[in-house]
């Protein structure tokens, strides 16, 4: 029997909310190597100039109500100091707005020289998220008609903070971080009415390990293998392995593999000295990869940097 896409979307929502306790994870990115500040606050200011980036991710394209993520961030070092700062805004939406979370965070980093070429940065993130949940829309989905009598949740704010370490040279980087250290429980409204179903959703701590190295294959080609590992209680270990090639500092092409989850293709275009455009496509390797369910996931990334003509970077960092 073929499962309709609208019903499949409802099944996704059931996986998220139906259990008595569920572990929420941070937003997932295929182009994390261009969006490092979203997973590690110590990255703020590390590019040495004002950097503004936006990313859009559409998960499981073609499925009604599938997740969408918008990200906007900016960061810069403070001139003549070891301090960097940043601002990050992330919006997650599931079920055509049935569930929506917006994360707003301020970041600060402090960098010290640990060798002739190596720098170590310490990062702190302060902020929180606003949760909106429309139970009226939820009850309209199959399987949720009698789920709960809970009122809608509107702009419920939960504070949070995170920490990170980030080491880099001009060829190598490694980072360890926990972007959200407070485990917040959402909409746990216990009731004495046995006919009511109470939902409990809890933000779990996500730990990230990232690393990568840039090899100069010749004067015009660079190769960068990279790794991201995400660990969170109540969910499988996530390992992303990627390799990208940069040609003449203008065009990049790469592939990635998310362990037991997806394979991805990545392309990047350095349109000008200031503007970078990145595209990525994921194909599921699980049963969700059946094309009758979805057409994969895709990301669009755009970064603008304040590169003054008299300060033009001869060889911009490939991370």
Q: DSSP letters of 45-69?
A: TTTSS-EEEEEEEESSTTSTT--EE
Average pLDDT over residues 170-192: 78
> Nearest CA to 123 among 184, 37, 7?
37
> Could you read off the pLDDT of 270-294 as tens digits, one per residue?
999 899 999 999 988 876 655 556 6
> Nearest CA to 123 among 157, 71, 167, 158?
167
> Nearest CA to 237 among 208, 277, 215, 272?
208
pLDDT of residue 143: 58
Quote the mean pLDDT of the chain.
82
The predicted model scores a pTM of 0.83
> Could you read off the pLDDT of 202-249 as tens digits, one per residue?
677 899 999 999 999 999 999 999 999 999 877 788 899 999 999 999
pLDDT of residue 285: 80
Q: At 171, which helix (H) or strand (E)?
A: none
CA distance 60 to 306: 35
pLDDT of residue 108: 98
pLDDT of residue 149: 53
Q: Which residue has the higher pLDDT, 109 or 314?
A: 109
pLDDT of residue 144: 60
Q: Which residue has the higher pLDDT, 313 or 101?
A: 101
Asked if residue 23 has pLDDT above 50, the reply is no
φ, ψ of residue 32 in degrees (nearest 5):
-60, -30
CA distance 184 to 196: 22
Q: Which residue has the higher pLDDT, 166 or 155?
A: 166
CA distance 185 to 22: 10
pLDDT of residue 134: 79
């Amino acid at each position: 029997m073929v499962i309709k896409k609208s019903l499949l979307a409802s099944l996704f929502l059931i996986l998220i909310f139906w259990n008595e306790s569920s572990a929420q994870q941070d937003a997932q990115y295929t182009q994390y190597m261009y969006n490092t500040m979203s997973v590690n606050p110590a990255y703020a200011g590390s590019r040495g100039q004002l950097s503004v980036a936006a990313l859009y991710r559409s998960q499981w394209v073609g499925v009604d109500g599938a997740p969408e993520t918008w990200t906007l961030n900016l960061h810069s070092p403070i001139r003549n100091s070891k301090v960097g700062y940043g601002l990050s805004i992330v919006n997650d939406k599931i079920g055509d707005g049935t569930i929506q979370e917006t994360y707003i965070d301020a970041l600060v980093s402090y960098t010290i020289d640990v060798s002739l070429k190596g720098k170590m940065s310490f990062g702190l993130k302060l902020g929180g998220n606003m949760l909106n949940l429309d139970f009226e829309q939820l009850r309209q989905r199959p399987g949720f008609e009698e789920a709960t009598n809970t009122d809608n949740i509107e702009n419920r704010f939960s504070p949070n903070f995170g920490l990170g370490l980030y080491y880099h040279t001009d060829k190598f980087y490694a980072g360890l971080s926990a972007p959200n250290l407070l485990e917040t429980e959402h909409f746990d409204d216990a009731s004495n009415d046995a006919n009511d179903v109470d939902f409990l959703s809890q933000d779990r701590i996500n730990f990230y390990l990232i690393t990568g190295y840039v090899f100069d294959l010749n004067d015009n080609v660079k190769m960068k293998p990279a790794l991201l590992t995400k660990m969170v209680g109540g969910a499988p270990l996530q390992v992303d392995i990627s390799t990208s090639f940069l040609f003449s500092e203008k065009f990049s092409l790469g592939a990635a593999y998310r362990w037991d989850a997806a394979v991805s293709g990545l392309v990047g275009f350095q349109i000008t000295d200031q503007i970078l455009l990145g595209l990525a496509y994921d194909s599921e390797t699980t049963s969700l990869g059946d094309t009758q369910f979805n057409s994969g996931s895709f990301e669009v990334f755009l970064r603008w940097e304040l590169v003054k003509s008299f300060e033009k970077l001869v060889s911009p960092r490939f991370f």
